[in-house]
Chains A and B, each alone.
Chain A
Amino acid sequence: MNVLEVERLNVEVAVAHDGPPTRIVRDASFSLAPGQRLGLIGESGCGKTTTLLAIAGLLSASATVGGRVSIAGVDQFSGIAGGRIPALARRDVGVVFQGTMNALNPVQRIGAQLREGLRAEVRADAQLARARVDDLLERVGLSPTLARAYPHELSGGMRQRACIAIALAGEPRLLLADEPTTALDTLVEQRIVALLDELCRELQLAVVLVSHDLGLAAHFCDEIAVMYGGRIVERGAAAEVTGAPHHPYTALLLAATPTMTSTKGQIVSIPGAPPDLRDLGSGCAFAPRCPRAADVCAARPELRELDAVQVACHRAVSR
């Protein structure tokens, strides 16, 4: 059984104070088997975080969700406004965000924060709970003595480890991570990624990783979904999508990402900016920035199968 199924997810939010609702996520669909990892990539404002929050049931009450999200076989909200997930089901989901200081309670010891995340039956048994907290800290490479520490006593890397331990405390089957290493230095980032990799493998966790770093997503994930203007515009195996992109946007994102052998002439920027989601028009949302745009692009391209991937572009061709 799939751990996560997302079917035609749509999210609407009132962007301006009393303005009309804006659709921020449009018809996103994907699913994950145990242990499978999906990377959601794209520029800021493309709807990645909103997609993740919708799955986690963490959207503000004013948001409207449509479509279907099912976690471990349990439907989270079939068309219910607000998309509140019952607390019980949420135990199957662990979340890790970018700003570790925001995720941690600054005035509560790490151990207490870990205990709060434990399953109720574990928490009820003080001895078991203590052992479990020690075990979680050890798993993420922290000394159990740090259970008594406050967040500000830890370095950025240690705090992110603590956040991962908290995300794992409820024994989830799905991990949702939004830019979990973006604020960290290269080598700290590498260690955290290696840790996540090991833990997810060991626990057979399914993962959705939101990242603006195509290199990281390609390295960590089995599959990549590229979002633009609230839609998934290309999706497929990580090696396919980054090795031979079919969508012009994916190709440009790749060209903008330097590797150790890039020369400056090879690194390009993408002209223009992501679209205003309030005013998307009826054609391909990428058209104003697309070097391949043509007359056909005045109609919106649907996601279709092409070679081994899915792509929403009229002009993408088989290779």
Chain B
Amino acid sequence: MKTSAIIHSFWLQKVGRLMLTLALVATLAFTLVNLSPVDPVTAYLGMDRMQIGQEQEQLIVARWGLDKGPVERFFLWTGNALKGDLGRSMIFNEPVTEVIAKRFLTSLNLMACAWLLSGIFGFVLGVLSGLYKNSLLDRCIRLYAYTVASTPSFWMGMVLLAIFSVQLGITPISGAYPPGTTSADATMWQHLHHLLLPAATLSVIGIAQIALHTREKMIDAMNSNYALFAMAQGDSRFGVAVHQALRNIALPAITLQFASLGELFGGSVLAEQVFSYPGLGKATVDAGIRGDVPLLLGITLFSAIFVFGGNTVADLLYTKLDPRITNRSEPL
């Protein structure tokens, strides 16, 4: 009874906050786009303006209120968006929702790889580094982490590209599958092969950040009172790490990992640009450069939902995994 009420209010709060966030993001994005010196009719019709007939242009102009003021246009756009219609992307000549869906699936491979790689390796390196603080291993890991953590991801991408694709020629230069084929007939191996460098670019930096964060947490855990007591009971440092420290640092690490989806998204925009990887990140840059307003607005909304989803999962995991929160309503 009480628990269900808590769960109820949790979701109510989440949905409310999502609505508020989306409203704010939409308003802000729309305002920014309208401040830019792009003629709305050209922006919405793009190159097609030459090809489509006068009548059809009138139809579209009426539908999106392109002859009206920005405020009215905003409400028309919002109304259509609420019905699930985000308009047509001019550069892909497809509905925005379809472009986002397709592109996101391509990006998902890349982001999932980078996310898992950086999460797992970052955590392991951080744990080792913190456990064997000031050892040679720790110093190497720290050197790596500090160097890489301050590196911009597009630069890292270009360095990797120069070494592995240009010099050594073992990885492809660009794309998500070999040129001349389509995504459908490329093999799984070809997909993976093309994924390698962009994923490495993204995770090399992610690993550094997560390792440094985990290291601090690990050092704190090994200096904690519960670690002292465990050692007083005869446990070794390694035993304390495995039996006591790990569970205490894994919880915030997992939460952080979900909460960092925004950064991952931002990183993928740059990495995809460097490798011409046809995902959502590249679509974002293209839409921005070529003034594809509907697509740009659509992607902005989508990324807000994506990041919000990550944060919600983080919150949920935290409440589910931490007994101090889960068992709060339980009687003693």
Q: Do A and B bind each other?
A: no
Residues of B within 8 A of A (CB): none
Residues of A within 8 A of B (CB): none
